[in-house]
C-alpha cells in the first residue's frame, strides 16, 4: 500500500524548517513540508532564520554599492556573483556597471591603430570602435591629424551639385545607396522631387502605375492600375483566387506581364490613364478583357508600406545607416512619406561632445517606457545622466520594468488587468495569505498577493491603470 500522506501542523512546519539554512535545502529534503508552507502562505515566516535568496538580499541600491567596488564586469561577475545575478534579474546591469569603462582603448593604443590609415573615411569604416572612442573622448583631432580629409566641406552640396550627382543614377534607390550624403541633403532641403525628376517615380504607396497582361497567341490583353509593388500585384493575378478578368490568361505560360508607366498617377487620374492604354491595345488588335465600366477602379486601397510596416522594420536597426543598407526599399518609403525622423527616433547616433545636457536627458527619458529602455538606448543620454548624478531625478518619474510586474513577458494579462478587483477581495478578507486568496479565486495569485503585501494599491498606480485599460479593450 502507498505511504499515507503526512498532515503537517504549523508548529511541525516551523520545527522542520529549523533544520535547514537555505530554502533550497528545505525544499529538496522536505518537499512535503515546504509545499504545505507555501500553500498556507507562511513560508517567509518559518524561513526567516535562513540565508536570504539573492533577490531578497539585494535591492537596486545595495547592488549599485557592491558594483562600485569593481572596475570591470568580469571582476564584478566573479567577485560578487549574487549581486550580479540579482542585477540581471532586475534588468539593471547596464545601470550599475556604467562606471566600468572599457580598458581596451588606451590613448597609446588608439594613436598606434590610427597611424595605419591615411584617410579619415577609411579609419571610420575599418576601425569603428576606435573612431567612436576617439570621438567621445575628445581625441579625434589629435589621433587623425596626419590623415587626409576626404570628407567634403560643409555646404558643398548645393542644389546644382545635387542635380549633377543625381544624373549619374537611374532610380532613387540607386541614388540613395551610392550617394547617401547627397540624397540626405536633398531630403533636408525638399529637393528630392526636382533633383530626381528624370528618374520617374518609385512605388511609395500613394501614386499608381499602369501595367498590362497580354497573350499574343490568344490575342487577349488586360490593363490594370495599382499602387502596390508591380511584382506583388502580378503575383495576385497569377493566384488561383484571382477574381479579375485577367484570370483567362494570367496562368498561361506564354502570357507576358509589363509595367507600362512609372508610379506617377494620383487616384483622380487613374481612370484617364487606364482608358488611354486600353485604347492603345485595342489599336494594336488585341481584344481587351477589362470591363469598361470598371476602368479607374483600383484593386486595393492599402498602401504598400504602411506606417506600421515602416516602424516595425525600423525597430530592427540601431542606426540609420544600417536601416538604409539592409532595408533600402522601406527606408526609401520612410523618406518619401516623410516618416524617417519618427521611424528612426529610437536609433543611436554619435552625439557631439557635451550634447547631453540635463534638460535633454530628461526630455529623452520621458519618451522611454521604463528604465531598461533608457539604459539600452545607447545614445549617450544614460551615460551622461549617470556621470553627472542626474539619475535619481530621472528615476523619480521613470520606473523600472521589475517594479511594473505586469509588463514582464511571463505575466498573465487576463489576471493582472484585474488586479484592482483582486486587491479589494484581498483587503475584504483581512489581507489574507496566498493560500486563502488561491482558494477564493481558484487562481495562482502568489505574485499579486506578494505585491499587495508590500503596499501596492492598483487603483492608485497611474501606469497600471493606463496599461489595464488598454489590455481590457483588446481582450
Please provide the DSSP assignment of 36-58 as one string. HHHHHT-HHHHTTTSPPPHHHH-
Distance spanning both ends of the chain, measured CA to CA: 49
* 185 within a domain of the structure (yes/no): yes
Residue 365: inside a domain: no
The pLDDT value given to residue 3: 52
Residues 92 and 115 occupy one common structural domain: no
Cβ atoms of 110 and 142 within 8 Å: the answer is no
Q: Quick check: is 451 in a domain?
A: yes
Residues 6+ apart with CB under 8 A from 468: 406, 416, 417, 418, 419, 420, 458
Question: Is residue 298 included in any domain, yes or no?
Answer: no
218 and 179, same structural domain? no
39 Cβ contact list (under 8 Å, min separation 6): 434, 435, 438
**Residue 413 falls inside a structural domain:** yes
Which residue from 173, 205, 209 is spatially nearest to 305, judged by alpha carbons? Answer: 205
Q: Are residues 177 and 215 in the same domain?
A: no
Residues 241 and 270 in one domain: yes
Q: Are residues 226 and 282 in the same domain?
A: yes
pLDDT of res. 1? 44
> What is the count of structural domains for the chain?
7
Which pLDDT score is estimated for 151? 59
Residues 279 and 327 in one domain: no
Check whether residue 213 and residue 287 sit in a common domain. Answer: yes
The set of cell numbers assigned to 258 is: 509589363
Shared domain for 117 and 189, answered yes or no, is: no
Let me know if residue 435 belongs to a domain: yes
Phi, psi of 156 (to 5 degrees): -60, -40
Tens of pLDDT along the chain (475 residues)?
445 567 788 888 888 888 888 787 888 888 888 888 877 778 878 887 776 554 456 777 888 888 888 887 778 888 888 888 888 777 787 778 877 766 677 788 888 888 888 887 788 878 877 887 787 677 888 888 887 765 566 778 888 989 998 888 877 777 877 787 888 888 888 888 888 877 766 666 678 889 999 999 999 999 999 887 788 888 889 988 888 899 999 999 999 999 988 888 888 888 888 999 999 999 999 999 998 877 766 655 456 677 788 888 888 888 877 888 788 878 877 876 777 877 887 775 555 556 788 888 888 888 887 788 888 776 778 888 887 888 888 887 787 766 777 777 667 888 888 888 888 888 888 888 878 888 888 888 888 888 888 788 888 888 788 878 887 777 6
What's the whole-model pTM score?
A: 0.33
Sign, Cα dihedral of 75, 76, 77, 78 = positive
> How high is the pLDDT of residue 54?
46
Whether residues 92 and 113 share a domain: the answer is no
What's the pLDDT at 215? 94
Residue 188: its pLDDT value, please? 80
Distance CA 152, CA 352 (A): 19
221: three-class secondary structure by DSSP: strand
**46 HSE (CA, 13 A, CB side):** 26
Q: Are residues 221 and 270 in the same domain?
A: yes
Q: Is residue 175 part of a domain?
A: yes
280, 314: one domain = no
216 within domain boundaries:
yes
Q: How many CB atoms neighbour CB 363 within 10 A? A: 11
Three-state DSSP class for 4?
A: coil
30 grid coordinates: 522536505
- Domain region containing 277: 209-292
Per-residue model confidence as pLDDT tens digits over 323-337: 887 888 788 778 767
Q: Verify that 183 and 215 share a domain, yes or no.
A: no
Cα–Cα distances (Å) from 20 to 5, 17, 51, in that order, read 22, 6, 10
Amino acid at each position: 500500500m502507498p505511504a499515507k500522506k503526512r498532515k503537517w501542523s504549523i508548529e511541525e512546519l516551523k520545527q522542520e524548517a529549523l533544520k535547514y539554512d537555505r530554502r533550497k535545502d528545505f525544499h529538496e529534503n522536505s518537499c512535503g513540508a515546504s509545499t504545505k508552507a507555501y500553500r498556507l502562505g507562511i513560508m517567509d515566516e518559518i524561513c526567516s532564520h535562513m540565508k536570504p535568496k539573492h533577490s531578497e538580499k539585494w535591492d537596486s541600491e545595495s547592488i549599485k554599492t557592491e558594483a562600485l567596488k569593481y572596475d570591470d564586469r568580469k571582476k564584478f561577475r566573479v567577485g560578487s556573483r549574487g549581486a550580479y545575478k540579482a542585477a540581471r534579474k532586475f534588468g539593471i546591469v547596464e545601470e550599475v556597471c556604467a562606471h566600468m569603462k572599457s580598458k581596451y582603448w588606451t590613448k597609446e593604443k588608439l594613436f598606434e591603430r590610427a597611424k595605419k590609415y591615411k584617410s579619415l573615411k577609411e579609419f571610420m569604416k575599418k576601425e569603428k570602435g576606435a573612431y567612436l572612442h576617439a570621438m567621445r573622448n575628445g581625441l579625434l583631432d589629435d589621433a587623425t591629424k596626419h590623415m587626409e580629409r576626404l570628407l567634403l566641406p560643409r555646404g558643398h552640396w548645393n542644389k546644382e551639385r545635387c542635380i549633377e550627382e543625381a544624373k549619374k543614377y537611374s532610380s532613387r534607390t540607386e541614388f540613395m545607396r551610392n550617394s547617401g550624403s547627397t540624397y540626405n541633403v536633398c531630403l533636408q532641403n525638399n529637393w528630392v522631387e526636382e533633383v530626381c525628376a528624370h528618374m520617374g517615380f518609385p512605388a511609395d504607396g500613394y501614386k499608381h502605375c499602369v501595367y498590362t497582361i497580354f497573350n499574343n497567341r490568344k490575342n487577349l490583353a488586360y490593363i490594370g492600375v495599382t499602387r502596390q509593388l508591380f511584382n506583388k500585384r502580378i503575383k495576385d493575378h497569377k493566384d488561383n483566387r484571382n477574381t479579375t478578368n485577367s484570370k483567362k490568361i494570367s496562368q498561361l505560360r506564354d502570357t507576358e506581364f509589363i509595367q507600362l508607366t512609372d508610379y506617377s498617377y494620383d487616384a483622380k487620374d487613374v481612370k484617364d490613364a487606364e482608358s488611354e492604354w486600353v485604347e492603345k491595345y485595342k489599336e494594336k488588335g488585341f481584344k481587351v478583357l477589362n470591363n469598361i465600366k470598371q476602368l479607374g477602379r483600383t484593386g486595393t486601397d492599402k498602401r504598400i508600406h504602411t506606417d506600421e510596416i515602416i516602424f516595425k522594420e525600423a525597430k530592427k536597426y540601431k542606426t540609420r545607416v544600417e536601416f538604409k543598407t539592409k532595408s533600402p526599399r522601406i527606408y526609401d518609403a520612410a523618406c518619401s512619406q516623410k516618416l524617417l525622423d519618427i521611424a528612426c527616433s529610437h536609433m543611436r547616433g554619435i552625439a557631439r561632445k557635451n550634447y547631453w545636457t540635463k534638460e535633454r536627458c530628461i526630455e529623452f527619458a520621458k519618451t522611454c517606457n521604463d528604465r531598461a529602455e533608457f539604459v539600452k538606448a545607447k545614445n549617450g543620454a544614460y551615460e551622461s545622466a549617470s556621470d553627472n548624478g542626474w539619475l535619481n531625478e530621472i528615476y523619480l518619474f521613470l520606473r523600472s520594468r521589475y517594479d511594473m510586474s505586469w509588463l514582464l513577458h511571463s505575466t498573465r494579462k487576463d489576471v493582472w488587468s484585474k488586479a484592482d478587483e483582486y486587491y479589494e477581495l484581498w483587503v475584504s478578507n483581512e489581507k489574507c495569505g496566498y493560500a486563502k486568496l488561491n482558494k477564493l479565486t481558484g487562481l495562482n495569485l502568489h505574485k499579486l498577493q506578494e505585491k499587495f503585501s508590500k503596499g501596492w494599491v492598483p487603483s492608485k498606480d497611474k501606469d497600471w491603470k493606463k496599461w489595464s485599460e488598454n489590455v481590457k479593450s483588446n481582450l
